[in-house]
Amino acid sequence: MDGRRARIKKHIFLYHANLLAILLALFGCAATPGVERVLEARNYLDNSDKLMIKGDYADALKEAGEALKRCPNSPPGDRALYQMGLIWAHPKNLERDSERSIGCFQMLLTKFPDSGLTGKAGMHIDTIVELNNKDKEIRDLKKSVDWLVKRLGNCNRAASRQRKEINVQTGIIGDLKKTVAGLKDKLITLKRIDFTIEEKRRKHLSVE
């Protein structure tokens, strides 16, 4: 009797063990693709980090994009979007684009509202917007300065022309003064001649 119960317990145990093995196999097969995608995404992100440190921003962006393709709606997709936002905003990235950077951060906030990166993403958006506003102010001021410099140049050229004209007029005035002085001298000489002639005429008349 005891032997029979033992055999029954053994069969029940084996049944449950086999059932558990089958369930684990089934769930394992179903979960493997998702796990593989997560692992691939993490590898791409690790490569992106290394490339970003080296200053290879184009390839770093591609690696982060591949990570996002693997997990577009689940972690580490949020990290991929965050990484892409950082790359697009990096000051040493010659291809940096503030609009694309903001777009990545905003997508992170929209698709992953519960992510631990939302706070940082929001701060980056505020910072980029503020920098863009400052850049616009600087551009506007530069335009004003350029306009003033151009106007000053025009004024300087006009002043230079005026100075040249003044110099010309001053020369003409000097020549006229000399001419007048010469005429005055001639007039005085003529008066003296007339006076001498008149004196001679009077003497001649008195002799007669």
Q: Residue 124's pLDDT is what?
A: 96
* Residue 139 or 67, more confident: 67
- Whole-angstrom Cα Rg for the chain: 49
Q: Residue 5's pLDDT is what?
A: 52
> Does the pTM exceed 0.85?
no
Per-residue CA distances from 162 to 148, 157, 173 (Å)? 20, 8, 16
Q: What is the DSSP letter of 113?
A: T
* From 23-37, 106-120, 162-176, the region with the lowest mean pLDDT: 23-37
Cis bond leading into 113, ω under 30°? no
What would the pLDDT profile of 108-162 be if each residue is shown by its tens digit?
Answer: 999 999 999 999 999 999 999 999 898 788 888 788 888 888 887 888 888 888 8
pLDDT above 70 as % of the chain: 73
Q: Is the pLDDT of residue 175 over 50?
A: yes
To 5 degrees, how large is the angle CA 81–CA 82–CA 84? 65
Contact 63, 45 (CB under 8 A): yes
Please give the domain boundaries of the chain with CATH numbers for all domains: 2-116 (1.25.40.10)
Tell me what the mean pLDDT of segment 151-179 comes to. Answer: 82
